Amino acid sequence: MAESVVYSEVKYKKESNADTGRAGPQIKESPEDDVVYAAVVHKADHTNQPNPPTFYTVHSPGDSSPKGSKGIRRRGLLLLAVVVLILILGVAISLSLYSGCQSAKCNDGWEAHGRQCYFFSTESLIWTRSQEECVHKKSHLAIINDEKEQKLLMMIIRQKMQGPEDKFWIGLNDRQMEGKWLWVDNTPLNTSQKFWLNNEPDNWKWVNNTEYPDGEDCVRMGENNFIANSAAGWVDTACEREFKFICETKACL
């Protein structure tokens, strides 16, 4: 004959702030006032030997184990580490596309001048696409630092110009704020540099009978009327026009 097992639940009513005594078993009054603390299991014994009841701990629904909390914290830290790693990789990729250097002889199709490598395009693009092409070549539109570099580039493009519109974009613009000229690396123009052609910049909004509502926010080089031995050669023009462009990067030592 199988032994019979009797299960019973002991429910305790939540203790109120005014009740300072030990709460005993209560008759259930409402679902929200009761909490199950333990289940008491009585095992039938035919040997007339008393057996103590066995208690099993029952956690209330709001109970959270330390082990679970540690797991949540561990997953949170892991997620944070992944996000930081993605950001670092993104910055590294951006820098690798925008910086670095070429061999001392410069890559094929580039010209070495001092510690710089220059690329003079044969295709014409708008200013933003020109910058994108330079970045794709791990370089940037030319940043002119001094008069020596300005005169060097003017001399080179004079030899490359084949017509009146055969002009070259450089990396100078005031697209963010009118009159605030910045290079593509966000460094401001040195105002002591007097490399503008006569009466430039003028922010003209009509070019060849075509209206450019944003005015002339990008700079190019290349004019047939260069003044001999002068560094003046910059002209502001509409960024939407298509010209050739000059890319620049460093030459490794």
What does the domain layout of the chain look like in residue ranges? 5-57, 99-251
Task: Flag whether pLDDT at 3 surpasses 60.
Answer: no
Task: Flag whether pLDDT at 20 surpasses 60.
Answer: no
Pairing of β 244-251 and β 101-102: parallel
Beta-carbon-side half-sphere exposure of residue 75 (alpha carbons within 13 Å): 5
Separation CA 84–CA 166 (nearest Å): 46
Return the higher-pLDDT residue of 225 and 47.
225
pLDDT recorded at residue 38:
47
Q: Mean pLDDT throughout 185-198?
A: 89
Separation CA 112–CA 188 (nearest Å): 26
Separation CA 70–CA 173 (nearest Å): 53
pLDDT recorded at residue 202:
85
pLDDT recorded at residue 27:
44
Output DSSP code: residue 243. Answer: B
Separation CA 133–CA 112 (nearest Å): 19
pTM (2 decimals)?
0.59
Q: Which of 5-19, 85-99, 100-114, 157-171 has the highest mean pLDDT?
A: 157-171
Is-contact 223 235, C-beta < 8 A?
A: yes
The tokens of 133 are what?
């092409």
Give the end-to-end CA distance of the chain in Å, rounded to a whole number. Answer: 96
Q: Count the Cβ atoms, other than its own, within 10 Å of residue 141.
A: 26
Separation CA 241–CA 124 (nearest Å): 9
Pairing of β 54-57 and β 34-43: antiparallel
Pairing of β 111-113 and β 101-102: unpaired
Residue whose C-alpha is closest to residue 240's, from 181, 180, 177, 169: 169
Separation CA 112–CA 243 (nearest Å): 22
Separation CA 229–CA 226 (nearest Å): 9
pLDDT tens digits for range 202-231: 887 777 667 788 889 999 998 766 665 678
Spell out the CATH class of 99-251. Answer: alpha beta
Return the higher-pLDDT residue of 165 and 215.
215
Q: What value does the mean pLDDT of the chain take?
A: 74
pLDDT recorded at residue 103:
57
Separation CA 61–CA 63 (nearest Å): 6
Instruction: Give the CA distances from residue 6 to residues 35, 37, 152, 199, in Å, rounded to whole numbers and listed in that order.
Output: 21, 18, 101, 104
Task: Flag whether pLDDT at 55 surpasses 50.
Answer: no
pLDDT band at residue 193 using 50, 70 and 90 as cut-offs: confident
